[in-house]
Amino acid sequence: MASAKVDLEVGTDGVALITMCNPPVNALAIPIIIGLKDRFQEAAGRKDVKAIVLTGKGGRFSGGFDISVMKKVHETGDSSHLPDVSVELVVNLIEDSKKPVVAAVEGLALGGGLELAMGCHARVVAPRAQLGLPELTLGIIPGFGGTQRLPRLIGLAKAVEMMLTSKSITSEEGRKLGLVDTIVSSEELLKVSRLWALEIEERRKPWIRSLHRTDKTGSLSEVREVLRTAREQVKKTAPHLPQQQACVDVIEHGIVHGGYSGVLKEAEVFKKLVISDTSKGLINVFFAQRAISKVPGVTDIGLKPRNVKKVAVIGGGLMGSGIATALILGNICVILKEINSEFLLKGIKTIEANVNGLVRRGKLTKQKADVALSLLKGVLDYTEFKDVDLVIEAVIENVSLKQTIFRDLEKICSPHCILATNTSTIDLNVIGQKTSAQDRIVGAHFFSPAHIMPLLEIIRTNKTSPQVILDLITVGKIIKKAPVVVGNCTGFAVNRTFFPYSQGANLLVNLGVDVFKIDQVIHNFGFPIGPFQLLDVAGYGVAIDTSKVYAGAFSDRMFKTPLVDLLIKDGRNGKSNGKGYYIYEKGSKPKPDRSVLPIIEESRRLCNIMPNGKPISVTDQEIVEMILFPVVNEACRVLEDGIVIRASDLDIASVLGMSFPNYRGGIVFWADLVGANRIYTSLKKWAQLYGNFYKPSRYLEERALKGIPLSAPASAAPKSTARL
Ligand SMILES: NC(=O)c1ccc[n+]([C@@H]2O[C@H](COP(=O)([O-])OP(=O)(O)OC[C@H]3O[C@@H](n4cnc5c(N)ncnc54)[C@H](O)[C@@H]3O)[C@@H](O)[C@H]2O)c1
Ligand SMILES: *[C@@H]1O[C@H](CO)[C@@H](O)[C@H](O)[C@H]1NC(C)=O
Ligand SMILES: *[C@@H]1O[C@H](CO)[C@@H](O)[C@H](O)[C@H]1NC(C)=O
Ligand SMILES: *[C@@H]1O[C@H](CO)[C@@H](O)[C@H](O)[C@H]1NC(C)=O
Ligand SMILES: *[C@@H]1O[C@H](CO)[C@@H](O)[C@H](O)[C@H]1NC(C)=O
Ligand SMILES: *[C@@H]1O[C@H](CO)[C@@H](O)[C@H](O)[C@H]1NC(C)=O
């Protein structure tokens, strides 16, 4: 941050070059914003300056407003951290300048960066630059005039689409749409921009103030139609995101009342949104995602990641083929090993189907698919294993089988080869027991389907070396996963935290609450599907298996339900046989199956936990809380046991692994917004009424009573014991 500055350099041609310098993306930090204002005023006042070119140092124009400033506002609750010199004032200063200003754009101009460029009188852009206004992904709207200038430059429909979807466009698309005046090579960027600025000054090129334009926005009836469609769309796709509706409102205001009025309205709405819970949640997730790659004792001790060029995957089942797919898509050579040619062929077919599925859905070009598949080789023995850098074992969960495999690997693979297992339920220390390579053994927990789900839990034992962890983090990033380093415990961080989720839902059902109501309420909270539909989709076998594992590990806080057994007895298997809580038919949405109700009645009779035999009465909010507070409670235990390095790791993991709504910031972040004390008090009350499933953990109790946020690091709460 010390290096953040804005330079001004006047050439013999009378053009002042103003350069933003704040590596790596020239984020608009406060010193940059103040620097811009000062340099523009200086250039305006200098007699030797005829025209101005604005650019960014290091091949990137600007990535936009410095998000850490917003984080600071959220942490302190003090919005005076926002720039006192508003960027919009700077943009107006540029746009209304008596000397023409040209933006010389390269690399990227996103958010506030694009808004600055749109305030200039022309935009000269290098090929393949990224241009966009992604502010809505952070719970805010563009705050520096973007909602007003983009529609005036490229037309309303496209501008609304770019803002609501937060998708950027390239220089080439920008040229067609009118956002870009010309595309020139990177080498010629400054030269052409200077000439362009001088030509504007000599009136040989038009001097255009974006905010004054009216030729692109269309007639009032066209405007109404575009905005009406946008509002309907938003109501359907983003009912929880206030910034979406607000963005449409602000755009409309500017078209009805004029650009300057629109800019004022935009600033007013921006200020409100920036302190909304939605923005707090989304910005927490943004930083949580970046924090996972900082692992104390691993990434801060001067180690360099080793090159992982060739990976062996053992087992071509669902997980193994998903993992192999992710690897070849990341340009890594994969050896897939199976026990016989029939299974091997099946595994390879699955991988091909995975890759072709991506092509069919337009997520991958045919050419890239061919390259990826050319990196795959199937084998039936270990001869190819001599020079692999990493082995990922993905065979069935069987300790003695896994131990045998690891003993073989130790003999065959090179002494630097990383040995990773996908085990979800077996103690890593036991797997490695029979080898002397324990420092190279590490867990890799992918979420199914592994080539699509973005989360990767990296499980270290207390013997795993930092180099091995670093290498796996690096591979994780190459294959576009979010790698979260966690400690070893039943279910690891994510599944353990969420084991009470399905149990809480089952407890409620047995207390008399309607299953479909529960699914609806949880869906309304922001999960894509409710817990019972999730059970249908995942399959009852998985539920039975994992429930056994949890019963062994967490017997003091288990809720056991007869429901799944009763469903299976009734011939239901969930989605796999089309019959579960819902009816699944090809080509239509799952429909609630009312014929499941007598089975639920049977379960309630067997369970016999309804007070006085009558269904309890709960509000929607209580349904959410009776399911999610126990999850928070388990998250507290995960934090206390030091399974994750920091609370925000559970936030990002809950969002990416369990589809916890990102705009609620993740499970721990949400809990702190609700308040530890309220969660503690509710759980205590329910524990008295319904038993130990709800009993508050020690960590929760301590923090609730002392008023310490659940997310605060252990140093804030003296007694916490980090075991990593
Ligand atoms: N790591 C994760 O992220 C994750 C996620 C979900 C589930 N799981 C676990 O995965 C397991 C089931 O996965 P699945 O559905 O892919 O099972 P699966 O039975 O479809 O696949 C297992 C494959 O491994 C092969 N195999 C067995 N021994 C082998 C050997 N010595 N060498 C080579 N290949 C061998 C089998 O022939 C089979 O094809 C479960 O136990 C579950 O707990 C892991
Ligand atoms: C586990 O693997 C071992 C060794 O491969 C095998 O003998 C045993 O039958 C397997 N156990 C189960 C339950 O499949
Ligand atoms: C590991 O892979 C095997 C085989 O594909 C699969 O059965 C098992 O569920 C996977 N385990 C985990 C934790 O993903
Ligand atoms: C974790 O949860 C996922 C999704 O519910 C499930 O498919 C997987 O088998 C679970 N793994 C473990 C180890 O519990
Ligand atoms: C590592 O874990 C094992 C098994 O839990 C334990 O016995 C041992 O003391 C631990 N070693 C260290 C160095 O923490
Ligand atoms: C790893 O987790 C298992 C439970 O799944 C536990 O039995 C074992 O002691 C743990 N090992 C270490 C080193 O913590």
User: Hey, which of 314, 398, 403, 407 would you mutate to test ligand 2's pocket, going by the most ligand atoms within 8 Å of its Cβ?
Assistant: 398
Q: Could you tell me if 534 and 637 lie in one domain?
A: yes
Question: Which CATH number is 667's domain given?
Answer: 1.10.1040.50
- Give the H/E segment covering residue 125: strand 122-125
- Structure confidence at residue 423 (pLDDT): 75
- Return the HEC string of 248-269: HHHHHHHHHHCHHHHHHHHHHH
CA separation (Å) from 399 to 322, 395, 405, 431, 578? 22, 10, 10, 7, 33
Whether the per-residue pLDDT at 723 is higher than 50: the answer is no
Rounded to whole angstroms, the Cα distance separating 539 from 528 reads 17
- Could you read off the pLDDT of 109-152 as tens digits, one per residue? 999 999 999 999 999 999 999 999 999 999 999 999 999 999 99
Residues 609 and 475 in one domain: no
Q: Which residue has the higher pLDDT, 399 or 258?
A: 258
Nearest CA to ligand 3 atom 1: 394
Q: Say whether both 538 and 660 belong to one domain.
A: yes
Q: Are residues 160 and 251 in the same domain?
A: yes
Report how far apart, in Å, the C-alpha atoms of 261 and of each of 62, 121, 414, 722 are.
26, 20, 68, 54
Residue 698 has pLDDT above 80, yes or no: yes
Task: Decide if 452 is inside a domain.
Answer: yes
What CATH number does the domain containing 413 carry?
3.40.50.720
CA of 395 to the centre of ligand 2 (A): 11
Q: Which ligand 1 atom sits closest to the C-alpha of 314?
A: 33
Query: What is the residue range of 323's domain?
Result: 310-486
From the list 115, 201, 266, 393, the catalytic residue is 115
Residue nearest to atom 7 of ligand 3 (CA): 396
- pLDDT tens figures, 210-229: 999 999 988 889 999 999 99
The total domain count for the chain is 3
Active-site entry in 95, 135, 252, 410: 135
7/53 Cα distance (integer angstroms): 12
Question: Is the CB of 441 inside a 6 Å radius of any atom of ligand 6?
Answer: no
Q: Considering the domain boundaries, does residue 320 fall inside one?
A: yes
Q: State residue 422's pLDDT score.
A: 82
Q: What is the residue with the minimal CA distance to atom 11 of ligand 2?
A: 398
Per the listing, tokens 């992904």 go with 137
Q: Do 157 and 257 have their domain in common?
A: yes
Q: Are residues 374 and 521 in the same domain?
A: no
- Regarding whether 206 and 81 lie in a shared domain, the answer is yes
Pairwise CA distance, residues 323 & 80, whole Å: 47
Tell whether 22 is covered by a domain.
yes
Residue 459 lies in a domain: yes
Q: Do residues 700 and 581 share a domain?
A: yes
- Catalytic residue flag (residue 115): yes
State residue 425's pLDDT score: 59
pLDDT at 634: 98
Give, in order, the Cα–Cα distances in Å from 442 to each of 7, 105, 335, 584, 649.
Answer: 49, 45, 19, 39, 19
Contact between 450 and 422 (Cβ < 8 Å):
no
- The DSSP H or E segment spanning 93 is helix 87-95
Tell me the pLDDT tens digit for each residue of 334-357: 999 999 999 999 999 999 999 999
Kindly state the average pLDDT of the residues 568-592. Answer: 95
CA–centroid distance, 402 to ligand 2, in Å, is 9
- Specify if 182 maps to a domain: yes
- Specify the residue with its C-alpha closest to ligand 2, atom 6: 401
Q: Which of 397, 457, 490 to mutate to test the pocket of ligand 3 (most atoms within 8 A of CB)?
A: 397
Residues 507 and 481 in one domain: no
| CATH number of the structural domain spanning residue 155 | 3.90.226.10
Domain boundary among 452, 486, 520: 486
Per-residue pLDDT tens digits for 367-381: 999 999 999 999 999
Give catalytic status of residue 135 as yes or no: yes
Q: For residues 126, 128, 133 and 135, what is the CA-based torsion angle, rounded to 10 degrees?
A: -120
Q: Tell me whether residue 353 is in a domain.
A: yes
Task: Please give the single-letter amino acid code of residue 500.
Answer: P
482 and 518 within one domain: no
Instruction: Single out the residue in 454, 486, 518 at which a domain terminates.
Output: 486
Is residue 713, in this structure, part of any structural domain at all?
A: no
Q: Residue 326's pLDDT band (boundaries 50, 70, 90)?
A: very high
Q: Write down which residue in 418, 453, 486 finishes a domain.
A: 486
Q: Does pLDDT of 722 surpass 50? A: no
Residue with tokens 């003999």: 411
Instruction: State whether 507 and 472 are in the same domain.
Output: no
My answer on whether 527 and 387 are in the same domain is no
Has residue 73 been placed in a domain? Answer: yes
pTM of the model: 0.89
Mean pLDDT of 449-478: 94
